[in-house]
Amino acid sequence: MNQEHVFDKATALTPSENGKAWSGHIPASHENMVGPFGGAIAATLLNAVLQHPYRQGEPISLTVNFAAPIKDAPFEVTAQAVRNNKSTQHWTITMYQQEEVAVTGTALLAHRRETWSDTEAAPPEAPSPEQVPLLSTDNLPRWTHNYALRMLRGLVVAGSPEQTDSRSLLWVRDEPLRPLDWLSLTAICDTFFPRLFVRRQRIFPIGTVSMTTYFLTDGEALDRQGTGYLLAAAQANRFYNNYFDQSGTIWGRDGELLATTHQIVYFRD
């Protein structure tokens, strides 16, 4: 029998005792500097929607607000379908820890229909992943050990001078191999090293406070990606008085734009 994948363990939810919520506990495998990797938290919130018996359709958007650090302890997640329309379903999601709100979220699911389609954004130019060295994550936070990261831009190297921009570009996939799905795509949207670290080539106390992802594809396209590398690009628009923003794009190896992802991050310096 196959062992359960570390990402599935990290994002697992079981019905809670009262049957009105889900229980989970992100394990040490996904530790970050303060609490667990935000991408795993976001995926866990989406999981509460996707495995809900009322769920209809595929994810279109997900917003996750990190209201407090998640402690190394169990949490509860509630997901409520607040509005069902003919083809869309709006959800609100809350993660509680020790009876306090720790994370809030909203998600939109929909049944897509075939229409005129076009991708305006151009995929970033990049050599194939096999031509890019694999990053050693030995000295990085535990969560990075669950990803194969091949960095084209956006390394943070102790002693490097400040950079003129904070752009990141990397090939990324789950480690060990795991076929892409909505949950792993959600988490991959948060695998960029923080803009501030990249720009200033130093580590600062930071924390994402809100993250929004738009899913610009469907489940069949995710299946086509399989266990392949995704190309991920991100940049900041502005750092201003202890917050900065980040916008990113996640591309399939076949050049398909899978998601755009945005976040705003608290920092101290």
> Which C-beta is closer to a second copy: that of 95 or that of 148?
95
> Which C-beta is closer to a second copy: that of 48 or that of 110?
110
> Which C-beta is closer to a second copy: that of 146 or that of 208?
208
- CA angle, 241 then 246 then 250, to 5°: 175
Q: State in angstroms the smallest separation of the CB of 201 from a second copy.
A: 13
Q: State in angstroms the smallest separation of the CB of 190 from a second copy.
A: 15
- Name residue 224's amino acid: R
Q: State in angstroms the smallest separation of the CB of 32 from a second copy.
A: 18
> Which C-beta is closer to a second copy: that of 4 or that of 118?
118
> Which C-beta is closer to a second copy: that of 65 or that of 146?
65
Q: Footprint of a second copy on this chain (CB under 8 A)? A: 60-61, 63, 65, 67-68, 82-83, 85, 88, 90, 92, 94, 100-102, 104-106, 108, 110, 112-121, 165-166, 199-200, 209-210, 212, 214, 216-218, 235-243, 245, 247, 249, 257, 260, 262, 264, 266-269
Q: Is the dihedral angle over the CA atoms 12, 82, 210, 73 positive or is it negative?
A: negative
- Say how far apart CA 165 and CA 168 lie, in whole Å: 9
DSSP 8-state symbol, 36: B
Q: State in angstroms the smallest separation of the CB of 26 from a second copy.
A: 19
Q: State in angstroms the smallest separation of the CB of 44 from a second copy.
A: 17
How are beta strands 58-66 and 22-24 bridged, if at all?
A: unpaired
How are beta strands 22-24 and 88-97 bridged, if at all?
A: unpaired
Nearest to 65 by CA among 173, 223, 208: 208
Q: Which residues are 14's β-sheet partners?
A: 23
Token digits for 145? 């050990």
Q: State in angstroms the smallest separation of the CB of 107 from a second copy.
A: 9
Q: State in angstroms the smallest separation of the CB of 215 from a second copy.
A: 9
- Say how far apart CA 126 and CA 239 lie, in whole Å: 27
Say how far residue 78 (Cα) sits from the centre of its chain.
19
> Which C-beta is closer to a second copy: that of 29 or that of 96?
96
DSSP 8-state symbol, 66: E
Nearest to 130 by CA among 106, 114, 150, 110: 150
Q: Are 94 and 49 in contact (CB under 8 A)?
A: no
> Which C-beta is closer to a second copy: that of 64 or that of 126?
64
